[in-house]
Amino acid sequence: MRRALTTSALGICLLAAFAGAGELPRGHLVLNGGGGKPASVLDTFVELAGGTESTIVVFPTASAEADTGEYYRGLFAEHGAAEVVVAEVRTREDAAEPALAATVAAAGGIWFAGGDQRRITDALNGTPVGEAVRAAFARGAVVGGTSAGTACQSGLMITGEGDFTVITAGNVELSPGLGLFDGVIVDQHFVARSRHNRLLAVVLEHPELLGVGIDEATAVWVRPDGTFEVLGEGWVVVYDAAAAAVHRAPRAGGGEALGVHGLTTHVLLPGEVFDLRGRRVVPAGTGGGA
């Protein structure tokens, strides 16, 4: 089983994520936590992709449902997208297709459907289409997703495997994600499915990363200025252990329990803005826009 990567491995993942892009990212992220997809989330994504002039590429890769691509083709058309291209990428061979890579690189918006996030990274990481996603994001395209399509966006990705009944070292399986949501570890379905334990465990082992837990029918709109705004209906929970004291204790039967003193927790509501670089909530009326 793949376990938590080291900090040096994380750095390699993030550097690899932007290799070939040629510049720091200038795009937006619109990442839904799963469940319902509110109009405010879809409208924001389509507008950032170019509105009535937009070309959106949908990756149904994570989904096991055959009609996922067509579902999103209709959904984004309802919200004003001019053109929706379904990228039926299931294998690394699919992701080596030059014509598809060119289409993705030129897209105004790229959306990843839900399902199993490992299908996304297994198919895309280290391929021409995967690099085209990163290049599009680096030049200013919006990348979005829901559920697994959100989980895959951080440099380290929670796979969904592990023992989530405890807060212990090495109990959450991680693997390299797409690396577009820099400096965080992201989780989805967060409040609805009580996923606090697994995100806490990861943050306590990687305090350099912010834990961002996104609820269902809720999204973060991450902007090039390093802030994100909460969209939708629920909550976004942020765990910050950068200045905390993390400690460990042996457990009966083996392993280490994780504890922490001074953990900073934010529970954000729709419309609130968080500064990822400053690790703080942006007071209302003080900016924080794109």
What is the residue extent of each domain of the chain?
Answer: 7-273
Instruction: Give the pLDDT of residue 249.
Output: 96
User: How far is Cα 4 from Cα 175, in angstroms, rounded to an integer?
Assistant: 7
Instruction: Give the pLDDT of residue 290.
Output: 54
3-state SS class at 179: coil
Confidence of residue 10 (pLDDT cuts 50, 70, 90): very low
Instruction: Give the pLDDT of residue 234.
Output: 97
What's domain 7-273's architecture?
A: 3-Layer(aba) Sandwich (3.40)
Instruction: Give the other-Cβ count within 10 Å of 234's Cβ.
Output: 21
Q: CA distances (Å), 206 to each of 175, 220, 227, in order?
A: 14, 21, 21
User: How far is Cα 212 from Cα 280, in angstroms, rounded to an integer?
Assistant: 13
List pLDDT tens digits, range 133-182.
999 999 999 999 999 999 999 999 999 888 888 999 999 999 999 999 99
Instruction: Give the pLDDT of residue 51.
Output: 95
Instruction: Give the pLDDT of residue 2.
Output: 31
List pLDDT tens digits, range 44-56.
999 999 999 999 9
Do 102 and 128 form a contact (C-beta atoms < 8 A)? no
pTM for this predicted structure? 0.89
Residue burial 246-255, b: 16+ Cβ < 10 Å; e: rest: eeeeeeeeee
> Does position 80 have pLDDT exceeding 80, yes or no?
yes
Instruction: Give the pLDDT of residue 285.
Output: 75
- Residue from 89, 81, 87, 215 nearest 147 by CA: 215
> Does position 24 have pLDDT exceeding 90, yes or no?
no
Instruction: Give the pLDDT of residue 256.
Output: 94
- Residue from 29, 28, 20 nearest 126 by CA: 20
> Does position 1 have pLDDT exceeding 80, yes or no?
no
> Does position 105 have pLDDT exceeding 50, yes or no?
yes
Range list of β-strands (E), the chain = 28-32, 55-59, 83-86, 109-112, 142-146, 156-162, 172-176, 184-187, 210-214, 218-222, 227-232, 236-240, 245-250, 256-261, 264-268, 273-275, 280-282
Instruction: Give the pLDDT of residue 284.
Output: 85
